[in-house]
C-alpha cells in the first residue's frame, strides 16, 4: 500500500514538473515570437529612415546635425545584437525622439510639408510607429508572463534548474519619449 502511495506522489510530482516546464517553454517561445515582431517593425523603420532623410535633405540642407544624428542612431540600432533588448530599446527610443524632431521640422518648411514624397514617407512612418507600439505591448505582455513564472513558486525552481531567465521589458528610456508634445495654436 505504501509503495502505491509513493508511486502516486512521485507520478504527481513528475506530472507537475512537466506541466511547469512546458509552461516555461511556452512563455519563452511567446516572448521570442513577440521580440521577432518588434524586430521586423524596427527593420522596416530602418529601411524607411534613409528615404526620409534624403527627402528632408533636399528641402532643409542646413538641418545637417539632426539628419546626421538620425543616420548615426539608425546605424547604432542596426549594429546591436538582436537579443540585447535593453540596449536596443534605448537606441530605438532615441531614434524615435529624433524622428519626432524631424517630423516637427516639416512645420518650418512649407515646401517640404507639401512634398508628396515627404507626405507618403510620413504616413508610412506613422503606420510603422503604430505597428511598433502594438508589437511592444505584445512583447511586454509575453515578457511579463515569463517573468511571473520565473519568479513564482514552484515554477521558479524549474526555471532555475533549466536556465529560464527574466526578460527585460521594452520600455521608454528617456523623458523626451514620455513627454506630451506641445502644440501651439495660432490665434
Asked if residue 174 is part of any domain, the answer here is no
Distances (CA, A) of 151 to 101, 145, 157, 160: 40, 10, 9, 10
Asked if residue 111 is part of any domain, the answer here is yes
CATH classification of the domain holding 92: 1.10.287
Task: Give me the mean pLDDT over the 105-111 stretch.
Answer: 82
- Please work out, in degrees rounded to the nearest 5, the angle formed at the alpha carbon of residue 51 by the alpha carbons of 50 and 54: 85
Domain with 145, as residue range(s), is: 13-169
Domain count, the chain: 1
For 113-134, write each residue's pLDDT tens digit: 888 888 899 899 999 999 999 9
Asked if residue 53 is part of any domain, the answer here is yes
Asked if residue 8 is part of any domain, the answer here is no
Among 13-27, 53-67, 109-123, the least confident range: 53-67
Task: Give me the mean pLDDT over the 85-102 stretch.
Answer: 88
Asked if residue 44 is part of any domain, the answer here is yes
For 142-172, write each residue's pLDDT tens digit: 999 999 999 999 999 999 999 999 999 998 6
Write down the pLDDT at residue 185.
38
Amino acid at each position: 500500500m505504501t509503495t502505491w502511495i509513493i508511486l502516486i506522489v512521485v507520478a504527481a510530482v513528475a506530472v507537475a514538473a512537466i506541466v511547469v516546464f512546458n509552461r516555461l517553454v511556452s512563455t519563452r517561445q511567446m516572448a521570442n515570437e513577440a521580440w521577432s515582431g518588434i524586430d521586423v517593425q524596427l527593420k522596416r523603420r530602418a529601411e524607411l529612415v534613409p528615404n526620409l532623410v534624403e527627402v528632408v535633405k533636399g528641402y532643409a540642407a542646413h538641418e545637417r546635425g539632426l539628419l546626421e544624428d538620425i543616420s548615426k542612431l539608425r546605424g547604432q540600432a542596426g549594429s546591436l545584437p538582436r537579443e540585447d533588448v535593453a540596449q536596443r530599446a534605448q537606441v530605438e527610443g532615441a531614434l524615435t525622439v529624433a524622428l519626432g524632431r524631424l517630423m516637427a521640422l516639416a512645420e518650418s518648411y512649407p515646401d517640404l510639408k507639401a512634398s508628396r514624397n515627404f507626405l507618403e514617407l510620413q504616413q508610412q512612418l506613422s503606420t510603422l510607429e503604430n505597428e511598433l507600439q502594438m508589437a511592444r505591448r505584445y512583447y511586454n505582455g509575453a515578457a511579463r508572463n515569463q517573468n511571473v513564472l520565473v519568479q513564482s513558486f514552484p515554477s521558479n525552481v524549474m526555471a532555475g534548474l533549466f536556465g529560464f531567465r527574466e526578460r527585460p521589458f521594452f520600455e521608454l528610456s528617456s523623458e523626451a519619449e514620455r513627454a506630451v508634445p506641445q502644440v501651439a495654436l495660432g490665434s
